[in-house]
Structure 1
Amino acid sequence: MGRLDEVDADRIRAWLPEVRSAEATAALMIAVAYDRGIGTAELASWYDRPEEWVEETVDALDSPRFVSTVARLEGVDVEAVAAESNLAPDTVRDWFDDLADRPVADAADVVRRYAEGAVEPVRTGTASTVYHLDRDAAEERGWSVTDDDLFAKAAEADLGLPEYGRFLVEPGESILEAAERGGRSWPYACRGGACSNCAVVVVEGDVAMPGQSILSDEQIRESNARLSCVGVPITDEVKIVTGIGDTEAFADLRLPSPSDTAETSD
């Protein structure tokens, strides 16, 4: 019986031909040898590494963090990827670790792309379901964005479009694009992440925002605000509260909308 608890040694072997860096290759070989009963002191001697490094590497690989550990060893700059997508680094690590459910070749291809310097936005290859609730509709019923059961209450209430509903966001689509494709008319102005007209609050799931340049770190991290015009779901389901761009907290960031301009022209 092997000594690894979380990760099957056969899966580690399947990753060996897929990695490119000497660091990742050594780490995977060490994990396989450790599973066969070789001690960490002997492995440290074989691979000319500190025993502490061997122990920490085996622990990291023998965990739910397996794929993100391989990504780090391959040279993926998680901090840069997170900054590009306006996500927390732990969210990006979680995204890499979710690749464990994919075939090894597919997961390794994603890791390789980021390891080769493609600091591009985090994106999924599958569709996501977005549930939306209008802020005004919630407040009229005395609900708060911070209520743990907010969307459960919305589902039980007599609410329909445009206040409440759901739609599918296809890979490569923004939330706003998918909403419009589904016949919804949501506020927007620039459509490029430079104003707050289309802002939403993410209640559940997570959304990357490649290209946004207006929201502060506090609005993103503490309020969980996102811009739907550049927002791309990175989880299978996302629950958002819409109409946030109309609040005072975002007043200084709004721009005149196309509808406002049209009314002025008339």
Structure 2
Amino acid sequence: MGQLNRVDADRLRAWLPEVRSAEATAALMIAVAYDRGIGTRELASWYDRSDEWVEETIEALDSPGFVSTVARLEGVDIEAVAAESNLAPETVRDWFDDLDDEPVDEAADVVRRYAEGSVEPVRSGSPSTVYHLDYDAATERGWSTEDDDLFAKAADADLDLPEYGRFLVEPGESILEAAERGGRSWPYACRGGACSNCAVVVVEGDVAMPGQSILTDEQIREADARLSCVGVPITDEVKLVTGVGDADDFADLRLPSPADDAGASD
């Protein structure tokens, strides 16, 4: 019986040929040796590391979701990745750790691309289900985006399109693109993250938003606002309120939309 409690040492061994940095190699080898019964003080001496570094590294790797530790040791700047996609660092760490469910070579390839400076948005590798509820439909019924049972109430109210529904977002699609593919007509203007026309509020799940340049940190962090034109789901399910671009908090950030132009020419 090995000394690691939560991770399979064979899984750590499988990562060894996949990593490139000396720090990641040393960390994995230390954890494997520890599992074989070598003490932390002896390992610290062997690898010229402090006792504290060895103990903290073993603890970080001895987890079912240890990929974020490997990513950090490989040189991935998790805070920078989070800032690029307008996410909390904790969300990005969880996303890397979820890669532990993937084959080692595929998970390692993702880590390698981020370590090499990839700026592609954090996203899941599988489709995400998006549930949507129209803001006006919610407020007319006295519901709030802060209601814990908001989407349960929407389902019980027997609402239908365009007020309420769901669709799949495929990897590589924005939420707006998937909505339009499903026949929905959502507000938009720039399609590049530079206005609030397509703004939504995320009630459950999380959405990366690379490339946006208009929403404030307060709107993103406190109001959970996202722009659907550049929004990419990173959880299996996302529940969001649409049509909030006309609300007071976002009205000053709007641009004239193609629909406005079409109406003016009729």
* SS of 1:253 mapped into structure 2: coil
Within 2, Cα distance between the matches of 1:129 and 1:258?
A: 28
CA contact (8 A) 1:80 1:119 kept: no
Distance apart, 1:124 and its partner CA: 2.0
TM-score normalized by the length of structure 1: 0.98
Q: Residue 21 of structure 2 corresponds to which residue in structure 1?
A: 21
* SS of 2:120 mapped into structure 1: coil
CA deviation map 1:98-141 (0-9, x unaligned): 10111111111100111112132112221111000011111111
CA contact (8 A) 2:175 2:231 kept: yes
1:259 and 2:255 are equivalent in the alignment:
no
Within 1, Cα distance between the matches of 2:106 and 2:132?
A: 32
Distance apart, 1:52 and its partner CA: 0.3
CA deviation map 1:46-92 (0-9, x unaligned): 00000000000000011244100000000001111111111111111
More off after superposition, 23-32 vs 59-68: 59-68
* SS of 2:118 mapped into structure 1: coil
* SS of 2:252 mapped into structure 1: helix
Q: Unaligned regions of 5+ residues in structure 2, if any? A: none
Q: Residue 58 of structure 1 corresponds to which residue in structure 2?
A: 58
| Residue-pair matches, total | 266
Q: Residue 91 of structure 1 corresponds to which residue in structure 2?
A: 91
More off after superposition, 157-166 vs 121-130: 121-130
Within 2, Cα distance between the matches of 1:110 and 1:242?
A: 32
1:183 and 2:183 are equivalent in the alignment:
yes
Within 2, Cα distance between the matches of 1:260 and 1:82?
A: 35
Q: Residue 71 of structure 1 corresponds to which residue in structure 2?
A: 71
> Which amino acid in the other structure matches residue 226 of structure 1?
R
In the TM superposition, structure 1's runs of 4+ consecutive aligned residues that sit over 4 Å from their partners are none
> Which amino acid in the other structure matches residue 6 of structure 1?
R
Q: Unaligned regions of 5+ residues in structure 1, if any? A: none
Superposition RMSD on alpha carbons, in Å?
A: 0.9
CA contact (8 A) 1:13 1:28 kept: yes
CA deviation map 1:162-213 (0-9, x unaligned): 0000001111111001101111110001111000000000111111111100
Within 2, Cα distance between the matches of 1:49 and 1:129?
A: 46
TM-score normalized by the length of structure 2: 0.98
Aligned residue runs from structure 1 range 1-266, under 5 A: 1-266=1-266
* SS of 2:12 mapped into structure 1: helix
Within 2, Cα distance between the matches of 1:26 and 1:104?
A: 18
Distance apart, 1:156 and its partner CA: 1.3
CA contact (8 A) 2:65 2:98 kept: no
